[in-house]
Structure 1
């Protein structure tokens, strides 16, 4: 009888221990499932990477008014374009960007370039960047005929392109690379040496 009672008690303890283990495992699995669901929801809402945005705040023109002499064609023209633009970070994480570049082009050829230093834009914050681009007539010698024609016509069209690469990092674990680009076209009234019109478009790539 005593042996039977001992065996029965041992079986009961084993059954109780097994039930407890199953309960603990079930709780752990449920907790892992709940954490996975929460992480998934956060990944598609708060932690979903959003594209940084950029927009031109101002553009100022400085330089030397054009002078053309004949019969030997000699043209003097130096133009400095000062740009200021805003980069907005809509993410709930900082946007750390590396060195950026601004370039100035005339009739499809690049003639000026400026560096943008690396930095960090805080979550849901913004930063202002400045870029100073110079176009000198000596650099446009290959397009001198077109340049003279544009100056005599009174309008000079130049293009600028600004590119800032970086990445958005969540919880120091999830990283998403992003590139912010801004492209503008300026029509310059050369005699008055002022910006007559401007068209800009911005885009981001994740």
Structure 2
């Protein structure tokens, strides 16, 4: 009887449907990387307040700024003065340079006593150089001849113009006839006996230099010592120097 009931219950269980279960959902997930044996090192720095950093920068900037401004001002002032000095050096007028490139003795004669006069004809080749950046207008060139300080005579040539940084050549001819020497008669007799009669020649130029709207007066002078040999009427010695 009991066996029959167990058999009946087993048959009834086999006929019933299996129990329903809830579904299970899944998502693919990447596996975490394996642990690193040497992790990266980190340096921890202290954080300063922003206000304190601004104060430090401002304290460094304020004292340095006036020093830089003063040095820049001094450099600019020195450069300006240097350029001004160079400009004045180039523009500042200077006197013309005069030199005697040649002396000619055309005639020389001494009259015997009691006249004791001198006849002399001498020519000077004068070179005039203008060192300025502006042209020169010279009014005249005056040449004088002296014997032991006594003025024997002079000659004046016409003026002209010399270009800036230019050179001009002028001939000055002295013709003196019958010039009597009273105070220096004994010196003249001694110089003739020695065979050398000394003369002094002074040449002077006067003019003006025009700079923009201004006329600047200029002048130049040169002195020459000439020893004349009476026997053959030649120049024995000559020396010219600016005065």
- Check whether TM > 0.5: yes
Match of 1:107 in 2: 148
Query: What is the Cα-based RMSD across aligned positions, in Å?
Result: 2.6
Q: Which has the higher strand share?
A: 1
Structure having the higher Rg: 2
Aligned pair 1:119/2:153, yes or no?
no
Q: Alignment partner of 1:148: what SS?
A: helix
In structure 1, what is the Cα distance between the partners aligned to 2:209 and 2:82? 21
Match of 1:187 in 2: 227
Confirm or deny: 8 A CA contact 1:104 1:135 kept in the other structure: no
Confirm or deny: 8 A CA contact 1:54 1:182 kept in the other structure: yes
Which ranges in structure 1 are unaligned for 5 or more consecutive residues? 1-35
Q: Alignment partner of 1:46: what SS?
A: helix
Normalising by structure 1, report the TM-score. Answer: 0.70
In structure 1, what is the Cα distance between the partners aligned to 2:150 and 2:116? 19
**Which moved further from structure 2: 53-62 or 140-149?**
140-149
Q: Alignment partner of 2:90: what SS?
A: coil
Q: Report how many residues are paired.
A: 165
Aligned pair 1:202/2:223, yes or no?
no
Confirm or deny: 8 A CA contact 1:187 1:197 kept in the other structure: yes
Confirm or deny: 8 A CA contact 2:94 2:218 kept in the other structure: no
When residues 49 and 116 of structure 1 are mapped into structure 2, their CA distance, relative to the original with a 3 A threshold, is same
Deviation string, structure 1 residues 49-88 (Cα, Å, up to 9, x no partner): 23310110110102144464xxx65656422111111000
User: Of 89, 95, 110, which residue of structure 1 is paired with 2:130?
Assistant: 89
User: Of 97, 107, 113, which residue of structure 2 is paired with 1:63?
Assistant: 107
